């Protein structure tokens, strides 16, 4: 990754405000401190920018899903980078207050992008692109009016669609963020979207689209939107039952190499205690993080959400270092 | 009693490929030791898997589990409010044979002979072991002889939980749900409180009842975990929580539960009585002669019985100062597996193992709380004690995001145990 401290590429921070006043946007000229990032492969690119402090989600037309959090760098402009496949139409939704335990207090803003000719919630990447500072509302609750961003100066391709499977009512809000039954739970969190008493996974109206994004499972590259593509996911519908056993899916399980001798390994024994929550050998089967290959356990383990830091207090630094050394030797399923 | 198969079918049953000398008590050089595990719930299943993951072809592992499908008690309270079914919570060990080369025998155990190091199954076949791991779970101490299909405890999953669910679904507005909680220690400390919340929410908010009540008769003197969380939720649903209430008799015909509340004799009647009896180790622990009081007494560094050599007890059946639950059963199993492997290789068990517990508890159809703890070995008391604070760290209050996280926790736990 290029460490470009002074910045930047293109001043994208002239955004055209078409729908809403941006509170707290503190002036453009965003101090995006990341410069041009390098993506992992030639098939993906990184979209970057800066935001007040935000969860950034991408919902893509093939049903896949990506997300990242912006990095708190101590300023009001937190950089983010999200790697997504090239030439794939995706929508962005940004959430501030994303850690608020009360979902209704989160401030959710879908983005609209315009290249001066076409305006759409979809964009396609062909190269790393920076969209500058996005002044998201910091007050209010729930779904906000769309914020429109100009992509002038970038090579983002903006396609507009009359039929949008990810937003069936064409109101700019992706299906997952609708609340069909008005029960205060977004469809993507609600396991009975239409409140008919039948859980979505059993409901004929919903069970063929597990994550409710609008793309049917048979076409959806990530049935449960847990960021693991189905071809890599042992539990496509995130119900805790491996696909191989799960009536609703028939993908195959993974194989394992058994050792031919026993080797004493204190770090492995201590570290096996992490598997109850992070999966066997540190490979999670859902959206909790995998820890295989972790190389900075001592910082990470104390830094995470309440239940992890409560657990972490039960281990000495010596133990954590032993565990970390072992984790470092493991192959992650997220590589 | 010692009816043995022919040598060939005996060996085939053990899954050992070649003819080997199977002489109990003497492990000849080059012989692959045979580890038998009885019970494949959270503890037994994890033990078998990790023995093979870490010991590989140096050990032969056989599981004896009478059920071919295991229904998880974890998340089973979500069956009661219709969020899950027992099918969703069923596991079949389908990976065990292929992936880990573990022999599965779906029979029950009749007796254990620790001198000859053999077990006899219900079909009278005899199996030799070098190391025996018992993980048979719990048994109930009922106040009197009553029919648990009429007054289900639903403290084992599967048929029992479905029975309770259909009783709840047959309730009409005005009916009362009465649950009794046994004296600690019992399986899953937050479990009964969680169930009361889930049922109260279901009756009120899903079924829309306005005249139905949940009554909780708790033999303990107060809510034993997450006291703040559960009492707050109880108050919000109007749950009638009565501590110091000891069940003395259950009438399954007239659906009457007799109890004493602060030593005063009382009775309550309802269409649904969910009496959760007091608990002890499963009967096999007693017939094998490894119990001390109601639970198996073991060395927490290895889970080897303090009474009989080469027999290990893990999970709910043993008493070492740890709570009884699936997550920590999985945790103990790993310590046990490693200790067995070290012993077989002439090494001592790791002297300072850690185990942990964690549990997310739904308090309604949309919210959950959590608690977690880490345990360390105390060489003075030879038990496991809390490694961080005196009180389990727990969620400040239930939330919808905890409810979502609950499935991440259970998903990885199920996967680490059964796959």
Q: Considering only alpha carbons, which residue of chain B is nearest residue A319?
A: B354
- Please determine, for residue B34, whether its predicted confidence score (pLDDT) is greater than 50: yes
Distance from the Cα of B7 to chain A's closest Cα (Å) equals 27
| DSSP one-letter code for A107 | E
Q: Cβ A315–B410 below 8 Å, yes or no? A: no
pLDDT class of A277 with cuts at 50, 70, 90: very high
- Cα nearest neighbour of B401 on chain A: A101
Closest residue in B to A99 (Cα) is B401
**ipTM of the assembly?**
0.91
Contact at 8 Å (CB) between B302 and B340?
A: yes
Least confident of A43-52, A200-209, A295-304, B36-45: A200-209
Å from A56 to nearest chain B CA?
18
Beta strand ranges found along B54-164 (DSSP E): 60-64, 70-71, 90-91, 103-105, 109-113, 118-121, 126-128, 131-134, 138-141
- Rounded Cα distance between A109 and A147, Å, is 7
Confidence of residue B186 (pLDDT cuts 50, 70, 90): very high
What b/e string do you get for B347-363 counting C-beta neighbours within 10 Å, with b at 16 or more?
eebbeebbbbbbbbbbb
Give the C-alpha separation, A181 to A160, whole Å. Answer: 28
| Cα torsion A81, A83, A89, A90: sign | negative
**Residues A201, B85: Cα–Cα separation, whole Å:** 11
Is residue B95 over pLDDT 50? Answer: yes
Share of chain A above pLDDT 90, in %: 36
Closest residue of chain A to B373, computed from CA coordinates:
A311
Range among A94-108, A144-158, A168-182, A266-280 with highest mean pLDDT value:
A266-280
The CA distance from B143 to A105, in Å, is 50
> Region A115-121: what's the mean pLDDT?
89
In eight-state DSSP terms, residue B63 is: E
Mind telling me how many Å the CA of B245 is from chain A's nearest CA? Answer: 33
Q: From CA A3, how far away is CA A220, in angstroms rounded?
A: 36
pLDDT for residue A2 is more than 70: no
What's the 3-state SS for A245-307? CCCCCCCCCCCCCCCCCCCCCHHHHHHHHHHHHHCHHHCCCCCCCCCCCCCCHHHHHHHCCHH
B82 contacts A199? CB cut-off 8 A: yes
What angle do the packed helices B326-344 and B400-418 form, to 10 degrees?
A: 30
Contacts of A259 (CB under 8 A, 6+ apart): B53, B54, B55, B56, B57, B58
Q: Do B58 and A272 touch (CB under 8 A)?
A: no
Whether this prediction's pTM lies above 0.90 is answered by no
Query: pLDDT tens digits for A231-247?
Result: 788 888 887 777 767 65
**Contact A253/B95 with Cβ under 8 angstroms?**
yes
Chain B residues in contact with A244 by the CB 8 A cut-off are 94-95, 419
Which of A234, A268, A273 has its CB closest to that of B354? A273
pLDDT tops 90 at residue B287: yes
Q: Give the pLDDT confidence score for residue A165 in this predicted structure.
A: 73
pLDDT tens-digit map of A279-310: 999 999 999 999 999 989 998 898 877 899 89
Give CA–CA dist B375/B353, Å, rounded.
Answer: 8
Q: Does the beta-carbon distance from A315 to B387 stay under 8 Å?
A: yes
* Nearest-neighbour CA in chain A from B345: distance (Å): 8
Is A235 within 8 Å of B353 when comparing Cβ atoms?
A: no
HSE-CB at B95 with a 13 A cutoff on CA atoms is: 27
Bin A203: left if φ > 0, else alpha if -120 < ψ < 50, else beta.
beta
Task: Read off the pLDDT of residues B44-63 as tens digits, 9 standing for 90 and up.
Answer: 999 999 999 999 988 989 99
State the DSSP code for B206: I
Contacts of A256 in chain B (CB under 8 A): 53, 99-100
SS3 B178: strand
- For β-strands B34-38 and B131-134, DSSP reports them as parallel
B163, burial (CB in 10 Å: exposed 0-12, middle 13-18, buried 19+) = middle
Å between A308 CA and nearest CA of chain B: 9
Whether residue A34 is predicted with pLDDT greater than 80 in this model: the reply is no
What pLDDT score does A218 carry? 60
Q: Do B92 and A245 touch (CB under 8 A)?
A: yes
Question: A239 to chain B, minimum CA–CA distance in Å?
Answer: 7
Q: Dihedral through CA B52, CA B55, CA B60, CA B63, nearest 10?
A: -40
Find chain B residues with C-beta within 8 A of A269's C-beta.
334-335, 338, 350, 353
Residue B6: predicted pLDDT: 42
Helix axes B326-344, B42-55, angle to 10 degrees: 30
The beta-carbon neighbor of B411 closest among A260, A285, A315 is A285
How do beta strands B131-134 and B311-313 pair? parallel
Minimal-distance CA residue of chain A relative to B102: A258
Q: Angle B50-B53-B57 (CA atoms, 0-180°, nearest 5)? A: 120
Q: For residue B326, give the H/E element and its range.
A: helix B326-344
DSSP assignment string, A313-334: TTS-HHHHHHHHHHHHTSPPTT
Q: What is the mean pLDDT of residues B150-177?
A: 97
The answer to whether B336 touches B314, Cβ cutoff 8 Å, is yes
Q: A-chain residues within 8 Å CB-CB of B364?
A: none
Residue B123: which of B139, B145, B143, B105 has the closest Cα?
Answer: B105
Rounded Cα distance, B362 and B402, in Å? 9
Question: Could you read off the pLDDT of B61-75 as tens digits, one per residue?
Answer: 999 999 989 999 999
Q: Is residue B133 within 8 Å of residue B38, measured between CB atoms?
A: yes
> Is the CB of B99 less than 8 angstroms away from the CB of A255?
yes
State the pairing for strand pair B213-218/B240-242: parallel
Helices B191-201 + B227-237 axis angle, to 10 = 20
Confidence at residue A205, expressed as pLDDT on a 0 to 100 scale: 66
pLDDT over threshold 80, residue A15: no
Local confidence band at A219 (pLDDT 50, 70, 90 cut-offs): low
Nearest-Cα residue of chain B relative to residue A255: B99
Q: In chain A, which residues have their Cβ closer than 8 Å to the Cβ of B389?
A: 313
- Given this model, what pLDDT does residue B238 score? 96
CA distances from B62 to A239, B13, B310 (A): 29, 9, 15
The answer to whether A258 contacts B407, with C-beta atoms less than 8 Å apart, is no
- Quick one: which H or E segment has residue B416? helix B400-418
Given a contact cutoff of 8 angstroms between Cβ atoms, the answer to whether A129 and A48 are in contact is yes
Write out chain A residues lying below 8 Å of B94, CB-based.
244-245
Contacting residues of A for B353, CB less than 8 Å apart: 269-270
Residue B354 has pLDDT above 90, yes or no: yes
Length of chain B: 419
The CA-based angle B306-B309-B310, given to 5 degrees, is 120
Give B91's contacts in chain A (Cβ within 8 Å): 241, 245
- Which of B335, B347, B409 is closest, CB to CB, to A277? B409
Q: Which of B229, B332, B415, B417 best tests the A interface by mutation, with the highest count of A CBs <10 A?
A: B415
* Test mutation, A104, A269, A301, chain B, max B CBs within 10 A: A269
Q: Which residues of chain A does B407 touch, with a Cβ-Cβ cutoff of 8 Å?
A: 238-240, 286
3-state secondary structure of B49: helix
Phi, psi of A311 (to 5 degrees): -60, -45
Q: Where is average pLDDT lowest: A87-91, A208-212, B331-335?
A: A208-212
Mean pLDDT of B392-419: 92
Chain A residues inside the 8 Å CB shell of B406: none
CA distance linking residue B200 with residue B187, whole number of Å = 22
- What is the count of residue pairs from A and B with beta carbons less than 8 Å apart? 170
Report the pLDDT value the prediction gives residue B26, as an integer from 0 to 100: 45
Beta carbons of B354 and A277 less than 8 Å apart? no
Indicate the residue of A260, A287, A313 with minimum beta-carbon distance to B408.
A287
Separation CA A315–CA B101 (nearest Å): 33
Higher pLDDT, A303 or B358: B358
pLDDT of A23: 33
* Segment B312-335 mean pLDDT: 97
Give how far Cα B218 sits from Cα of B43, B175, B260, B294, Å. 28, 20, 11, 20
Q: What is the mean pLDDT of residues B320-338?
A: 97
A208 vs A200: CA distance, rounded Å = 9
């Amino acid at each position: 990754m290029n460490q470009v401290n002074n910045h930047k590429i293109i001043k994208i921070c002239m955004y055209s405000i078409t729908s809403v006043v941006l509170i707290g946007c503190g002036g453009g000229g965003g101090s995006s401190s990341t410069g041009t990032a390098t993506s992992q492969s030639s098939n993906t690119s990184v979209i970057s920018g800066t935001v007040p402090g935000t969860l950034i989600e991408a919902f893509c037309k093939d049903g896949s899903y990506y997300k990242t959090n912006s990095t708190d760098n101590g300023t009001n402009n937190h950089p983010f980078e999200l790697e997504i496949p090239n030439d794939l139409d995706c929508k962005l939704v940004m959430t501030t207050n994303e850690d608020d335990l009360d979902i209704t207090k989160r401030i959710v803003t879908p983005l609209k992008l315009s290249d001066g000719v076409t305006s759409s919630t979809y964009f396609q990447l062909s190269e790393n692109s920076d969209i500058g500072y996005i002044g998201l509302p910091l007050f209010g609750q729930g779904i906000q009016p769309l914020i429109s961003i100009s992509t002038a100066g970038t090579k983002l391709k903006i396609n507009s669609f009359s039929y949008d499977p990810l937003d069936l009512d064409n109101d700019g809000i992706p299906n997952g963020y609708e609340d069909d039954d008005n029960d205060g739970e977004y469809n993507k969190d609600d396991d009975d979207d239409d409140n008919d008493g039948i859980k979505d996974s059993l409901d004929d109206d919903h069970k063929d689209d597990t994550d409710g994004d609008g793309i049917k499972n048979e076409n959806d590259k990530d049935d449960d939107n847990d960021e693991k593509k189905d071809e890599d996911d042992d539990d496509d519908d995130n119900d805790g039952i491996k696909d191989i056993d799960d009536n609703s899916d028939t993908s195959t399980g993974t194989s394992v190499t058994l050792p031919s001798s026993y080797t004493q390994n204190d770090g492995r024994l201590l570290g096996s205690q992490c598997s109850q929550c992070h999966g066997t050998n540190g490979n999670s089967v859902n959206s909790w993080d995998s820890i295989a290959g972790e190389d900075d356990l001592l910082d990470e383990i104390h830094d995470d959400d309440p239940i992890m830091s409560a657990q972490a207090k039960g281990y000495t630094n010596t133990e954590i270092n032993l565990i970390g050394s072992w984790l470092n030797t493991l192959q992650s399923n997220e590589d | 009693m010692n009816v043995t198969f022919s040598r060939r079918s005996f060996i085939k049953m053990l899954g050992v490929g070649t003819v080997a000398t199977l002489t109990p008590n003497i492990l000849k050089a080059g012989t692959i030791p045979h580890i038998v595990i009885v019970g494949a719930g959270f503890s037994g299943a994890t033990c078998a898997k990790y023995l093979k993951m870490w010991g590989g072809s140096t050990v032969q592992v056989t599981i004896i589990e009478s059920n071919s499908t295991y229904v998880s008690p974890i998340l089973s309270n979500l069956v009661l409010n219709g969020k899950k079914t027992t099918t969703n919570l069923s596991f079949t060990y389908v990976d065990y044979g292929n992936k880990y080369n573990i022999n599965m025998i779906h029979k029950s155990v009749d007796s254990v002979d620790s001198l000859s190091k053999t077990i006899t199954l219900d079909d009278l076949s005899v199996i030799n072991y070098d190391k025996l791991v018992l993980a048979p779970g719990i048994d109930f101490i009922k106040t009197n002889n009553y029919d648990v299909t009429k007054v289900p405890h639903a403290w084992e999953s599967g048929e029992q939980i479905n029975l309770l669910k259909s009783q709840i679904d047959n309730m009409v507005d005005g009916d009362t749900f009465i649950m009794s909680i046994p004296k600690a220690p019992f399986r899953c400390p937050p479990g009964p409180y969680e169930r009361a919340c889930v049922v109260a929410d279901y009756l009120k908010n899903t079924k829309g009842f306005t005249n139905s009540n949940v009554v909780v008769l708790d033999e303990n003197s107060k809510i034993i975990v997450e006291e703040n969380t559960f009492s707050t939720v109880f108050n919000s649903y109007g749950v009638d929580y009565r501590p110091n209430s000891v069940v003395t008799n259950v009438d399954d015909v007239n659906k009457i539960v007799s109890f004493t509340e602060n030593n005063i004799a009382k009775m309550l009647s309802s269409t649904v009585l969910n009496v959760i009896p007091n608990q002890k180790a499963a009967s096999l622990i007693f017939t094998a002669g490894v119990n001390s009081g109601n639970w198996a007494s073991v060395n927490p560094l290895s889970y080897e019985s303090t009474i009989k050599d080469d027999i290990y007890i893990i999970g709910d059946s043993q008493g070492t100062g740890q709570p009884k639950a699936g997550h920590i059963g999985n945790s103990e199993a790993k310590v046990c597996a490693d200790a067995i492997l070290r012993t077989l290789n002439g090494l001592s068990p790791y002297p300072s193992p850690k185990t942990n517990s964690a549990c997310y508890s739904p308090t309604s159809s949309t919210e959950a709380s959590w608690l977690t703890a880490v345990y360390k070995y105390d060489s003075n008391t030879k038990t496991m004690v809390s490694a961080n604070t005196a009180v389990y760290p727990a969620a400040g209050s239930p939330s919808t995001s905890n409810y979502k996280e609950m499935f991440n926790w259970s998903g990885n736990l199920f996967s680490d145990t059964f796959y």
